[in-house]
């Protein structure tokens, strides 16, 4: 690129944005970069020289700090989160999308019954119907993002109900790059069956599924050791094996 601090308009060229301080940007010019400069999906910019040719900079400006890594959302290619917050933030995004699919499909009621937090060694289950997860001993062991996720996914809503808007639901999934989610696509297909109408449905959705693909991608990236803060952020992401799974119950 002519301008090494230009954030490109092509979303594939900026799956990851690495923001360097001026000092690190100068070092980066002369030290081994572990192939980062040539990577087709990584955008490297200097903190006080960043420009954007399509308005993206205004959206991400509050998150831009020296020596941070920004991760592109799997559901909106112009949305980014700071590396350490990406798994939690994007899980909330998918919860919102899944909830909207139920609404587009005409549900009369929608409730989140359970959140499973699956780690490498144990699975912690938080049931919402008639319980208060915030009061349990397990809740007190969670980190701040996991606690926030519990409050974000709690949901119990009543609607008038409507005829399912099948095409709108499919288009909404496609807009957010989720047509590969077999559970959500299966829900649309079941609601489109006019010969045997669905009255009640329970569905488990893995909120971390798409974000984990990004984490796997980061696992292939080598970060020079002199970029210690960025290397630490990437290592934190790679070590995060937690899966968030939410169970919905809907009536139609």
Residue 91 contacts residue 180 (beta carbons within 8 Å): no
Q: Are residues 70 and 100 in the same domain?
A: no
pLDDT of residue 194: 86
> Which secondary structure element, helix H or strand E, spans residue 139, and what is its range?
helix 137-140
Q: Domain end: 61, 85, 109, which one?
A: 85
Q: Are residues 70 and 119 in the same domain?
A: no
pLDDT of residue 80: 95
Q: Is 246 helix (H, G, I), strand (E, B) or coil?
A: strand
pLDDT of residue 38: 85
The tens digit of pLDDT for each residue in 144-165 reads 888 889 889 999 999 999 999 9
Closest CA to 84 of 196, 236, 189, 250: 236
Q: What angle do CA 26, 29, 32 make, to 5 degrees?
A: 125
Residue 193 within any structural domain of the chain: yes
pTM, 2 dp: 0.90
Residue 1 within any structural domain of the chain: no
> Rounded to whole angstroms, how far apart are CA atoms 42 and 240?
21
Q: Are residues 114 and 156 in the same domain?
A: yes
Range of 101's domain?
Answer: 87-211+242-251
Count of structural domains, the chain: 2
Q: Domain end: 59, 85, 111, which one?
A: 85
Q: Domain end: 42, 57, 85, which one?
A: 85
Which residues partner with 71 through β-bridges? 16, 81
Q: Are residues 181 and 60 in the same domain?
A: no
């Amino acid at each position: 690129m002519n301008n090494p601090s230009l954030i490109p308009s092509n979303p594939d060229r900026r799956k990851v944005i690495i923001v360097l301080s001026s000092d690190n940007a100068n070092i980066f010019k002369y030290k081994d970069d572990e192939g980062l400069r040539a990577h087709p999906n990584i955008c490297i910019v200097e903190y006080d020289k960043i420009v954007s040719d399509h308005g993206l900079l205004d959206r991400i400006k509050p998150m831009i700090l020296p020596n941070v890594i920004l991760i592109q959302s799997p559901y909106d290619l112009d949305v980014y989160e700071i590396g350490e917050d990406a798994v939690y933030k994007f899980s909330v995004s998918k919860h919102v999308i899944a909830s909207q699919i139920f609404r587009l499909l005409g549900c009369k009621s929608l409730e989140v019954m359970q959140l499973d937090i699956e780690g490498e060694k144990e699975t912690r289950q938080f049931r919402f119907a008639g319980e208060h997860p915030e009061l349990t001993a397990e809740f007190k062991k969670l980190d701040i993002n996991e606690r926030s996720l519990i409050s974000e996914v709690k949901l119990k809503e009543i609607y008038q109900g409507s005829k399912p808007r099948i095409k709108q639901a499919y288009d909404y999934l496609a807009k957010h790059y989720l047509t590969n989610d077999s559970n959500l696509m299966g829900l649309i297909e079941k609601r489109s069956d006019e010969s045997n109408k669905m009255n009640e449905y329970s569905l488990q959705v893995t909120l971390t599924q798409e974000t984990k693909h990004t984490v796997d991608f980061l696992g292939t990236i080598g970060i020079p050791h002199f970029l210690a803060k960025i290397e630490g952020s990437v290592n934190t992401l790679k070590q995060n094996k937690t899966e968030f799974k939410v169970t919905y119950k809907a009536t139609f």
